[in-house]
Amino acid sequence: MERESSTPASSWLGIDEAAPFAGKKATKDAAAADAFVRRWPKVVNATLVAFIMTMPPLLILLGGGRPGAPAVWIKSTVASLAARGEPKKDVLLGGLLLPGFDEQSCVSRYQSVYYRKNMTRPPSPHLLRRLRQQEALQRRCGPGTEPYRRASERLRSGQNAGDDFVATVDGCGYLVLISYRGLGNRILAITSAFLYAMLTGRVLLLDPGKTMADLFCEPFQATSWMLPGDFPLEHFRDLGEDAPESYGNVAVNRSGSVAGLRFVYAHLDHAATPANRLLYCDDHRQFLHRVQWVILRTDSYIAPGIFLNPAYKEELDMMFPNKDAVFYLLSRYLLHPTNDVWGMVTRFYHSYLKNADERLGVQIRVFDGDEPFQHILDQILECTSQEHLLPGVVVSGHGGGVAPPPIARSKAVLTTGLNSWYHDSIRDMGPPAEPRAAPALLPEHPRHEGPRRDIVTSGWSTFGYVGAGLGGLTPYIMIKPENHTVPNPPCVRAMSMEPCDHGPPYFECTKKEIDKIIDTGNLVPHVRSCEDVPWGRKLADPIS
């Protein structure tokens, strides 16, 4: 689980609050990055450009909202993309995204493709069809429409509660997501709740919280996925899992009767009771289809549990032929940083990451406390050494014959975490910084393969899951240490880039025996035990 910090981004990124994202500023940042150029000890022919960031990237996102910045920045970036003569890329991601959005209002939507690794998993035709249907549903039933007004009125008044609404009223059902905890948790909740909304034909509406609208653009055209300000959210935020409307109570104590209920409350917190986890097995024909409003509260990535439900198997197989790309595709569809956030991301990229031959991200999440721990540092170093990630040498290999000419490779290392001691320690292991001329010594060499990218994340970290999933990278996961000692092995290569669900169901949907715990990591080939959380479940493509 992650938590948020309120430290302003400017205190660690060195951002001048008033400065626009203009070229002048980027040059200054580049100079700052040069100061970190190092030759790593014991590494022949390798130069390490260690940019190291001390605070979670979360703060980049939360630092948005500076007035005046985006407009200037947008112009300079669009111009520079064109000037660089980048090969034209498929900005619509194989049909995942639609043309026709106002580009300037959300620049990242059509621009992020130029910053990311090429898509490795194209969306299936069926997924595209379902997305188009969902978009139409969101428009037809979303905030501001007559059906939405009527539905809100019914929610408020309780009139016709528990009627068979789908067949009779407007055909609009709603899934309201109350998300909480850190940004990582909220991103996992949103992407997986969207999958559930698609499967059950409901409009997804988000609790905007304090920051959601500042962080992400609207994913849908001509409607909004944010609950309007007049929605009585306060009545729902405090619901507990024992509420009369809770799914567990309705399923167990009311035998599925929703008579008199204005909504059903789906409590899928990672520590939810077994009765509430029965929702994972609901096939929506049981009783949920008679409820117009479902209020979902989760801090988790609920997709793996949904994939265990036989009712959705056929549909999910068609939507996702690659089971390891569910978060990857849905996040690329849904999550587009707002201009303020994107300005920070790209300026950061151009300053520190763009020219590196190799990039390594290290997400450090310590669950024992914020003070520095030697065993955590040791674990990072043992992991990166075991996997040859740091210092990222390219001197070995290449088979027999003539040794390849020495190539200087630069490496950008981005560490994120709540304590800067880890990054300071890693950086200080190198000799003093190279003189300013160092970057000029880096030879140009072909970039058509793109830089090598790797990511190492602390186990249990939802922020780490999100980082790997958004990047389309299969992470090296550092197993959570016990007794302050480095585990052996210090890290393992994950089976997929999918996030882990920390609160999956433990029963078989066909039996629904909630008191009988079974191993749901063996029921279907594509839902398995997580590397870091043994009782967690994650999606992966079956080993063939």
Ligand X SMILES: *[C@@H]1O[C@H](CO)[C@@H](O)[C@H](O)[C@H]1NC(C)=O
Give the interface with ligand X as residue ranges (CB under 6 A): 87, 89-90, 118, 242, 246, 248-249, 252-253, 275, 448-450, 482-483
Instruction: For ligand X, give the closer residue by CB, 246 or 410.
Output: 246
Least Å distance between CB 479 and ligand X? 11
Query: What region does 2 belong to: left with phi over 0, alpha with psi -120 to 50, or beta?
Result: beta
Q: Which residue from 493, 504, 497 is spatially nearest to 529, judged by alpha carbons?
A: 504
How many Å apart are CA 377 and CA 415, to the nearest integer? 12
Query: CB of residue 118 vs ligand X: minimum separation in angstroms?
Result: 4
> Residue 122 Cβ, how far from ligand X at the closest point, in Å?
12
b/e burial code for range 2-30 (CB count within 10 A of at least 16 → b): bebeeeebeebbebeeeebbeeebbeebe
CB-nearer residue toward ligand X: 432 or 534: 534
| Nearer CB in complex with ligand X: 275/418 | 275
Q: How far is the CB of 67 from ligand X (least distance, A)?
A: 35
- 186 and 215 in contact (C-beta within 8 Å)? no
CB nearer ligand X, residue 210 or residue 448: 448
C-beta of 111: minimal distance to ligand X in Å? Answer: 14
Give the C-alpha separation, 194 to 216, whole Å: 15
**Can you tell me the distance from the alpha carbon of 375 to that of 481, in angstroms, rounded to the nearest whole number?**
8
Q: Closest CB to ligand X among 140 and 453?
A: 453
Question: Cis omega before residue 406 (within 30°)?
Answer: no
Nearer of residues 276 and 384 to ligand X, judged by Cβ? 276
Query: 318 in helix, strand or coil?
Result: helix
Is the CB of 116 or the CB of 126 nearer to ligand X?
A: 116
Burial of 216 (0-12, 13-18, 19+ CB in 10 A): buried
Distance CA 521, CA 78 (A): 47
| CB of 77 closer than 8 Å to CB of 438 | no
Taking the least distance from each CB to ligand X, the nearer of 197 and 275 is: 275
Compute the distance between CA of residue 233 and CA of residue 227 in angstroms, rounded to an integer. 9
- Judged by CB, which is closer to ligand X: 183, or 279? 279
Q: Give min distance, CB of 241 to ligand X, in A.
A: 7
The residue among 84 and 448 lying less far from ligand X, judged by its C-beta, is 448
Q: Which residue has the tokens 């008579």?
A: 259
Are the C-beta atoms of 163 and 97 separated by less than 8 Å? no
Tokens of 183: 């940004």
User: How far is the CA of 153 from the CAs of 246, 296, 464, in angstroms?
Assistant: 21, 20, 41
Q: For the chain, what's the residue count?
A: 544
Closer residue to ligand X in complex, CB, 253/510 = 253
Return the exposure string of 82-103: e unless at least 16 CB atoms fall within 10 Å of the residue's CB, then b.
eeeeeeeeeeebeebbeeebee
Spell out the residues 6+ positions from residue 193 whose beta carbon is closer than 8 angstroms to its own: 175, 177, 179, 204, 296, 298, 302
For ligand X, give the closer residue by CB, 111 or 249.
Answer: 249
Q: How far is the CB of 379 from ligand X (least distance, A)?
A: 14
Sign (positive or negative) of CA dihedral 311, 525, 328, 509: positive
Q: How far is the CB of 243 from ligand X (least distance, A)?
A: 8
CA max distance for the chain? 81
Distance CA 223, CA 142 (A): 6
- The least distance separating ligand X from the CB of residue 90, rounded to whole angstroms, comes to 6
**How far, CA to CA in Å, does 356 sit from each of 14, 279, 412?**
21, 46, 6
Other CB atoms within 10 Å distance of the CB of residue 483 = 6
Q: Is there a cis peptide before residue 391, judged by omega within 30 degrees of 0?
A: yes
* 3-state SS assignment for residue 141: helix
- Whose CA is closest to 343, among 335, 351, 333? 351
Residue 355, token pair as written in the block: 């020219």
Residue with Cβ nearer ligand X (47 or 246): 246
**Shortest Å, Cβ 66 to ligand X:** 33
CB of 77 to ligand X, least distance (A): 19
Give least dist CB 86 to ligand X, A: 9
CB of 251 to ligand X, least distance (A): 7
